[in-house]
Each structure stands twice: as C-alpha cells, then as structure tokens.
Structure 1
Amino acid sequence: MWDLRDIIMNIGILDIIDIAIVAYVFYKLYMLIKETRAEQLVKGILVLVIATKLSELFQLHVVSWILKNTMTVGVIALLIVFQPELRRALEYIGRTKLIAKSPGGFESEEDRAMAIGEISEAAFSLARQKIGALIVVERETGINEIIQTGTQIDARITRQLLINIFIPNTPLHDGAVAIKNNRIMAAGCFLPLTENKYLNKELGTRHRAGIGITEMSDCISIIVSEESGHVSVASNGKLYRNVTVNYLREVLQKALMNENETKSIFKRKEGKKEGFFRKGRFFK
C-alpha cells in the first residue's frame, strides 16, 4: 500500500505524458480492430495468456509447457492471421496529416462538388432503370492494383459516361469502375470478395465485391442493385443499403475531405447497415 502511494506521489509530468501516449496507442489499436474478426482473435489470445499464468500458479507443468510453446509459435502465426489488420494499421499511419494526400485527388471544392453530383446522379439514374453498377472511389490508399485489372479509360467524370459503361451487353458493363484523381481511370475492374460470412445471404457478388475492396483500402464503393433498384454504399467493410441521393452526396462529401479515418462518414439513422457486431448481437 505504501509502495503504491510512493509511486503515485513520485509521478512527474513526463510519466503522465508517457502513460498518455501508451493509452492513446492502445485506444487506436482497439479502434482498428473493433467490430472485426481480429477483435475475437485478441480475446482468444488473452484467454491463452491467462490460462498460461494459471497453469504456472497451480504448477501444472505439462499444461504450462504446452501453452508456452504454443504462444512462442503463435507469434509467427499472428503475423499471418493479422495480415489485413497490420496492413490497415500501416496504411492508417501513412494517412497522417503530415504526409497524407488529398482524398480523391481533387484540386478544388468545385471539382469535388461536380464529381459528387455526377456520380450520385449516375448511380440513381441506373437505379431507376434497374441496371446493376459498381463504382469505386479512391480516397487516400491507392487502388492502382485494381485499376490495372480493368480497361484503361482516363476520362473526365460525367454521368453520361458512367451510365453508358454499365448498360447491359456492352463490353465494360460487367465489373467495377475505378475513379481516381477526379478521373474515371478504368472500367471492368475485378474486385476481391469479402470474407465476412455474417452478411445477409440475399447479397450477391456485386455487393460482396463492393464490401471486399473497402476491407483492403479506405475507398468508398457505390453499389446499384439490378434486382431491387436500390443504391448501397460501403466503407471500411460496412455496407449501408437503400440510401437516398442526398445521403449518398453527404457520404461522398465527408469521405473526400481530409478527415480522420476513425470518424464515421455515415450518419447514424439513415440507411441499413449490413454485417457488424455490437454488444454480442449481430445486426443485419
């Protein structure tokens, strides 16, 4: 008790700063893995650590030996299992204000507003006609590997061009359009499918691809369903379904501004979010 009191009495300004930095780092790490599969893996690791300490305390030598060796080999396994989360963390560090670029590559507010208007109008025009579409808008993480899988276009963003690309039975309608630096860079691009097994079973390949690319980068994907004629938007592995045109405009406006990744670009009450955990329950 007295030792603890002495420690508290001897805490200086540098000690407080040191503790604050460590707390901030742990908070950011938690926010990176929150509502992802990594959160469950971290809980499993904590269980193993506690079990190892208990086996030492109760002198269960065989159990303790197995758990210790498992933890040792597990360090290598963690690098493989947590590869997506490690990549996201490094990308997050790269998007700090000191070295970050302007999301979307827009040179002015007028360019951004015009692009948002053209994309939104094109998406809802396609929705009214029940024509499927998938549009990916780059933010700060580059998507050149996605662009290279499609047909290069490098054209100004217009609703007419976007609509024409997705007209059925045309050469480029099957695939995604990639937008970068205020330009339509490519069409017919291939996207990775999400591995989230908790998504609604009625979601097809287009929606799963739209979610999958946002799990790999900080881009925004806009999905138009040819079955329902609804427009959905995905970011950071989360999907909001059946959004309005004004909602889509606001999402794009916030996403293409220099904002911290941990701030939600979605409003809380509009749209239907797919596939996330909160307080032990799964929401569809």
Structure 2
Amino acid sequence: MDFLNLEFNWLDAIDLLIVIVLIIQLYRLLKGSLAFNIFLGLCVIYVIFFVVKALKMTILTTLLQGIINVGIIAIIVIFQPEIRKFLLVLGKKTPLSKDSFFTKLFLPDKFKSYKEEESIINEITTAVTHMAHAQTGALIVIANTYRVKFDTASSINIDANISAKLIESIFEKNSPLHDGGLIIVGNKILAAKVILPVSENPNLPTRIGLRHRSAVGITEHSDNLAIIVSEERGTISYAQDGILTMDISPEELKIKLYEVLVDGM
C-alpha cells in the first residue's frame, strides 16, 4: 500500500509537530466544555477519512469528503466561542501584543507611574475585603482588553469613579442594585445589576452558586477578570479565562489585580 512507502523528511516532522501543538491547544481550550465531545467526534471522522483514503476505498472516501466539506461550515458555527477564545489567546502572544517585550519596550507609557491603577486596586480590594467580612455577596467584572458586552435592558448605567464605598453600597443587601454583576471599564464603574452569561462547564464544583458560574461564563470567551464574594461563606474567588480560583486572601486578590491592571498593560 502507498501510505506504507511514504517518504518522511524534516519538513514533515515540523508539519506534524505543529499539528500536535495545535491539537493540544484545542484540547486545553475545549476540555470541560460541551463542545469537547463534538471535537472528539470530528477527530474520529477525520482519522477514518484519512484511513479509507489511504486504503483507496472510493465510496467511503467520497462520502466522508462530503461530510467534511459541509462540516467546515458547521465547525465555524458550533465552535464560534472557542475559535474567538483561541484567537484571543493567540493575539496576546504576538510580538505586537501588549504583553510582549517589544510593545513594553517601545510604548510611550513604559515609564508610567501607574498611580491611578494602584488607587483602583486599593479601592476594589478594600471593598471586596469588607464585603467578605460582612458576607455580602458580590460579582465584579473588570474589563481589560475588550469592553464587556451585556444586556443594557436589565442593567443600570452608572459611569462613576471607582470607590470602595460606592461598590459596597451597590452590593448592600437592601440595595436594588445588588443582584447581578458590576462592570468596571478603565477607571470607571460602567454599570450595575448586569445579567451575565452562566457557564455550562460540567467540571465546576457542584457547591458553587449562580454568581460563581456567571463569573466563569463572562470570562470563558473574553479577556476579563471576574471577582466573586460568596454570600454564604464570606470567601473571595476570581475567574479568568474560564478558570475559577476559589478561597483566596485579600493579598492574593491584590496581586491578581496588579497582574491584570499593571503588569498586563
């Protein structure tokens, strides 16, 4: 058979290595999501296609080729959120991304003092710490690279400077704004009472509530940080890139905020 006599050179090795790396990255992005099983099914179809093509099974090759041709469009539709997340991760690693050495070296704000960012970090950390001690539930979303898209029909626009007292008053248990998420963009509190997408990740802990699942949901396909205060346990958690990190200290929260608002700039 012809596929047993194929020549294999160093370019083929590089080609195979790149494919393996891409598959590993896709696996990491899709692991734990409902799309993961679909991804495995598509991989099986492709493997079968290459086998029957190598064996010159004409009818099966034609049939699977048709499925694959139509499947490319289906993949774009089904995996639209995952593709967007993959491109987002890829873009953050390019030479011109904000995290790169090149950008940090030549951007005009290289020598910026970051006093405003430090003030924002202190205000958020203070508010979250107070709410944790009082067991006041809260969900704060900090938009980093991209603005958060949310339902304006249910949210309340605020457009106010960030302060610990204002954040605490919004999430106070008798406040009409305490349900939903609080959106921070730049140096402003943009909106409150925002309904956020709920994650469908089956691997999340079963004990967590709607706030934690919404925090994971808003970070699964966007470059945002979501901070959660548990009303039941008075603990602090955060979600980033669809990953939930639970029961952190105020000091750990401040480090994460520095990473997002200062080091990530």
TM-score class, shorter-chain normalisation, is 0.7 to 0.9
Q: Matched residues in 1 for 2:19 and 2:66: separation? A: 28
Are 1:113 and 2:118 counterparts?
A: yes
**Aligned pair partner of 2:134 in 115, 129, 133:** 129
8 Å contact kept, 1:134–1:224: yes
Relative to the length of structure 2, the TM-score reads: 0.79
8 Å contact kept, 1:91–1:141: no
Relative to the length of structure 1, the TM-score reads: 0.74
**Aligned pair partner of 2:231 in 226, 235, 241:** 226
Q: CA deviation at 1:56?
A: 3.2
1:50 corresponds to which residue?
47
Q: CA deviation at 1:53?
A: 2.3
Distance 1:27 1:210, change over 3 A: same
Alignment gaps of 5+ in structure 2: 1-5, 104-111
1:80 corresponds to which residue?
77
1:156-195 correspondence to structure 2 within 5 Å: 156-195=161-200
Matched to 1:45, the amino acid is L
Matched to 1:187, the amino acid is A
Distance 1:180 1:220, change over 3 A: same
2:28 corresponds to which residue?
34
8 Å contact kept, 1:48–1:67: yes
Distance 1:59 1:65, change over 3 A: same
Residue by residue over 1:150-186, the C-alpha shift from the partner in whole angstroms, topping out at 9 and shown as x without a partner, is 2111111111111110011211111111001111111
Q: CA deviation at 1:257?
A: 3.4
1:256 corresponds to which residue?
261
Q: CA deviation at 1:43?
A: 4.2
Q: Matched residues in 1 for 2:261 and 2:226: separation? A: 12
Q: CA deviation at 1:198?
A: 1.9
Q: CA deviation at 1:213?
A: 0.3
8 Å contact kept, 2:150–2:195: no
Residue by residue over 1:176-208, the C-alpha shift from the partner in whole angstroms, topping out at 9 and shown as x without a partner, is 110011111111111111121221111111111
2:3 corresponds to which residue?
none
Q: CA deviation at 1:54?
A: 2.0
Distance 1:210 1:76, change over 3 A: same
2:248 match: secondary structure: coil
Q: Matched residues in 2 for 1:239 and 1:256: separation? A: 19
Matched to 1:206, the amino acid is R
Alignment gaps of 5+ in structure 1: 12-18, 261-284
Distance 1:24 1:73, change over 3 A: closer
Q: Matched residues in 1 for 2:143 and 2:22: separation? A: 23
Residue by residue over 1:209-241, the C-alpha shift from the partner in whole angstroms, topping out at 9 and shown as x without a partner, is 111000121100000110111111000000001
Distance 1:255 1:40, change over 3 A: farther
Identity %: 32
Q: How many residues align?
A: 245
Output the aligned Cα RMSD.
Answer: 3.3
Q: CA deviation at 1:62?
A: 4.3
Matched to 2:142, the amino acid is V
